[in-house]
Structure 1
């Protein structure tokens, strides 16, 4: 089962910190996803990356029936919720908490913020969508209050159907998120340079200006 095992990097955490929670994909690691920060404009951020047990947040495809991915999915979502609570206790408001994930980590990040919608600093999802064999709208409530979100994906992608990405974007927009969605023809299951630049422009550079 998932246990609290967070790797950290970047600035030391203080009550004035901006915090980026980085969520690795299936088969990846906290160290892997932290290394992506070298390409992001996050030098002023505290970086936190949870580690999944056995390098996977849930066992089956994110498009599988929810019950097949339990109890792992609930445990992963609870881990993120506990991280946010812990940051809140340390004086960090959600407006200064950012999420980034790739693949399975992007799906988990999107599922968490949409189940717990509020004003976050920003959300970056590199190839991901809301989790389930269908969109369970009853799980999603709250108001993103114009939280900036960037979702990038390839079409076709071997793991993430572009139709689920479109549906996810629509849900987030309906919940008052400010979403930039970018679909890259034939990109493959990876992160490209344009996605990095779009994430920096729409999320991280904006954070620096707001500070």
Structure 2
């Protein structure tokens, strides 16, 4: 299962936009699903881009599985995010005006990509996700977020994402100079709530 670049778009046309939001869907979801969430975000003047995973899944196993067991799908998925970022950069939008939003498997993919490619971005929202692997490989994560705001929202417990991995991810991002806000909801379930969207708007999409 190797992904092919298939980017769905909404919002302002990329060539006319000054800001872009890259949205990464979860397992079983779709680019159109995640794009529909943008109606709850303050992104009316953004270009919106959402790559589509082959068969609606970025990688086959849990994000907590050994990394090599999710290959070559994981590397292909990371490449799809990278290609989406390059499309935005090629349109003349600067990195500090590129934003990210990911949910569940898409949140994990977003966070893994950002940790491997840290620089000053506009901001990132990751709902129920953490960096990928059975163990955290800190050597993979290099760069400096230079104050990039990052919002992590999750439920505790969550069937797919242990809250400990969310906290570990927050700590890594802080070490790399991101401005991290985390919010843990007790027994909320594996979904996105209205307060998380409001927090994303107040922290990221100001």
Q: Report the TM-score, using the length of structure 2 for normalisation.
A: 0.98
- The equivalent residue for 2:89 is 88
Q: Is the contact between residue 103 and residue 129 of structure 2 (CA under 8 Å) also seen in structure 1?
A: yes
Q: Is the contact between residue 17 and residue 46 of structure 2 (CA under 8 Å) also seen in structure 1?
A: no
- The equivalent residue for 2:60 is 59
- Superposed CA deviations along residues 26-57 of structure 1, whole A, max 9, x for unmatched, are 00000100110111111111000000000000
- The equivalent residue for 2:48 is 47
- The equivalent residue for 1:209 is none
- Superposed CA deviations along residues 3-37 of structure 1, whole A, max 9, x for unmatched, are 01010000111265200000000000001001101
- Superposed CA deviations along residues 138-188 of structure 1, whole A, max 9, x for unmatched, are 100000000000000000001000000000000000000000000000110
Q: Is the contact between residue 15 and residue 92 of structure 1 (CA under 8 Å) also seen in structure 2?
A: no
- The equivalent residue for 1:103 is 104
Alpha-carbon distance in structure 2 between the residues aligned to 1:126 and 1:92: 25
- The equivalent residue for 1:134 is 135
- The equivalent residue for 1:25 is 26
Determine whether 1:2 maps to 2:3: yes
Alpha-carbon distance in structure 1 between the residues aligned to 2:88 and 2:188: 36
Q: Secondary structure of the residue that 2:136 maps to in structure 1?
A: coil
Q: Is the contact between residue 15 and residue 91 of structure 1 (CA under 8 Å) also seen in structure 2?
A: no
Q: Secondary structure of the residue that 1:204 maps to in structure 2?
A: coil
In structure 1, runs of 5+ residues without a counterpart are: 206-211
- The equivalent residue for 1:160 is 161
Tell me how large the CA RMSD over aligned residues is.
0.9
Alpha-carbon distance in structure 1 between the residues aligned to 2:46 and 2:156: 32
Q: Report the TM-score, using the length of structure 1 for normalisation.
A: 0.95
CA spacing shift, 1:184–1:27, aligned 2, 3 Å: same
- The equivalent residue for 1:120 is 121
Q: Is the contact between residue 104 and residue 127 of structure 2 (CA under 8 Å) also seen in structure 1?
A: yes
